Amino acid sequence: MRAPRAHMREVSATAAITGLRMAGAALSFALATLLSALLGAGDAGRFFAAISWATGLAIIALWGFPQLVLHEIPPMLARARKNAVGPLIRSMMVANAARLFGLLAVSGLCVLGFRAITGAGGAIMDLLFAAAAAFLLLTIRTATSTAKALGLPGRATALEFVLVPGLAIGLCVLFLLGGDADLWGAIVLYIATLAVAATAASAGLQQQLPGCRFARRSDPAPWKQRRFVFAQIETGQFLTAMGAIAFLPLVLSSSDVGVLNLVLRIAGLVSLVTATIPSIFIPRLATLQAEGDSAGFARTLGSLRLIMGMSGVAAYAAIVLLGPGILALAGPDFLAGAQALPWAAAGFCAALVLGPAGTELTLLGHEKVLRNTILPLGILGVVASLVAGWLAGPVWASAMPGAAAFLARAVQLAVLRQVRARTDLDGAAP
């Protein structure tokens, strides 16, 4: 009876964490809808494009730091090398900040040059907003990932799940006051919320890493390759999800970008299902794999495939039926997105129907395939969105991120079938 009980405890813990993440994602989606309703399509397009740009810059500046410290710091603590952790992390933080400033300088010059050529206004305000948001997001991600690596997940979890509710409360107060919400008000509120979270995160980090010493090298040689891999995967995931919104202002109007942002967020809810369902099954699959129970592994994996396939069909039907109503809640300006919604959701739902190819590859030790598919196809999705938006308009632009997600899953599935054929996995223990 021990094994089933241990398994149930593991599944319960995983389900609880998954439930919190789903609640946070649902609240984040509600905030995006509320902001869109308050600002209107034009200002919402500028607001979310700047946020997407800031998020992308922060991810690149971190360069795999959150995942790296989670993998490397706990073994250092286990080897009683705690005194080396503080200087090393502090030096990596300085390197991350320097990388961000360089990215902001280069991207800022590019945006200003483009706006000068096209005559579009608001460039300075958008850049200042993106720069402030990127710096604060960098601070928050650094502090929360370090807290998790040091075995203090409580503070990190609180910051991650208080940040969005804090913004929600501020927006609701602004809405209930009955004042006319404008772009400046939303920017000030968003930056203030990030600043509060970043201040709390920095204070907690200072307690965890007292002193001001720095390591001579900010990135030990054995870590560089791992950071590169982690950075590729996270950047690819961001580009597939919302990266197109950062670049679509180059070819579409702010109003079109505002509408497409909400459309892609509705369609992107499928990605939450894609990540959530396998996470519940992974502990059980890993246990069966370690025990060599090929029959149980196959049955559990079959159940996972069936659930994901049915979820993909149900999710598409729900988005097509309920999506226009959500767009209507944001205002009449967003009803134009109803035509794009089925196309935007099609690729994400089709990828879900293909099953958990990425999960299976990870369990079989082929994570390299994920790295080699997620980033290139994420870039392809952004480029295809730009080309489609320029040549065919916003409807076709909205379909490209989902198409890239489907193509990535199809490539992973093809590789998985080759792996099965080579190892005769159907007749042997996993």
The pair of three-digit structure tokens given for residue 425, joined into one six-digit string: 């996995």
Judge if 112 and 186 occupy the same domain: yes
State the Cα–Cα distance between residues 374 and 372, nearest whole angstrom.
6
Among residues 193, 219, 245, which one ends one of the domains? 219
What is the pLDDT, as a whole number, of residue 116? 61
Helix residue spans in 119-253 (DSSP H):
123-149, 153-176, 183-208, 221-238, 244-247
State the Cα–Cα distance between residues 131 and 412, nearest whole angstrom.
36
152, 207 in Cβ contact below 8 A? Answer: no
Percent of the chain that is helix, strand, coil (3-state, to 5): 90, 0, 10
The pair of three-digit structure tokens given for residue 89, joined into one six-digit string: 């992390």
Domain count across the chain:
2
372-424 pLDDT, tens digit each: 888 888 889 899 999 998 998 888 998 898 898 899 888 888 888 887 777 65
Judge if 205 and 233 occupy the same domain: no
176 is a domain residue: yes
119 is a domain residue: yes
Q: Which helix (H) or strand (E) holds 342?
A: helix 341-353
131 is a domain residue: yes
Judge if 210 and 280 occupy the same domain: no
Judge if 296 and 426 occupy the same domain: yes
348-367 pLDDT, tens digit each: 888 888 888 877 777 777 76
The residue segments making up the domain with residue 162 are 37-219
Judge if 234 and 333 occupy the same domain: yes
Judge if 254 and 202 occupy the same domain: no
Judge if 190 and 58 occupy the same domain: yes
Judge if 230 and 254 occupy the same domain: yes
213 is a domain residue: yes
17 confidence band (pLDDT: 50, 70, 90): low
Percent of the chain exceeding pLDDT 90 equals: 4
State the Cα–Cα distance between residues 169 and 417, nearest whole angstrom.
48
> Is residue 112 predicted with pLDDT exceeding 50?
yes
110 is a domain residue: yes
72 is a domain residue: yes
Among residues 163, 184, 219, which one ends one of the domains? 219
Half-sphere exposure of residue 332: CA atoms within 13 angstroms, side-chain side: 0
State the Cα–Cα distance between residues 62 and 139, nearest whole angstrom.
10
Judge if 106 and 63 occupy the same domain: yes
Among residues 219, 254, 277, which one ends one of the domains? 219
Whether pTM > 0.75 for this model: the answer is yes
188 is a domain residue: yes
282-298 pLDDT, tens digit each: 767 777 777 777 888 88
Judge if 239 and 327 occupy the same domain: yes
17 is a domain residue: no
Judge if 175 and 252 occupy the same domain: no
Judge if 395 and 337 occupy the same domain: yes
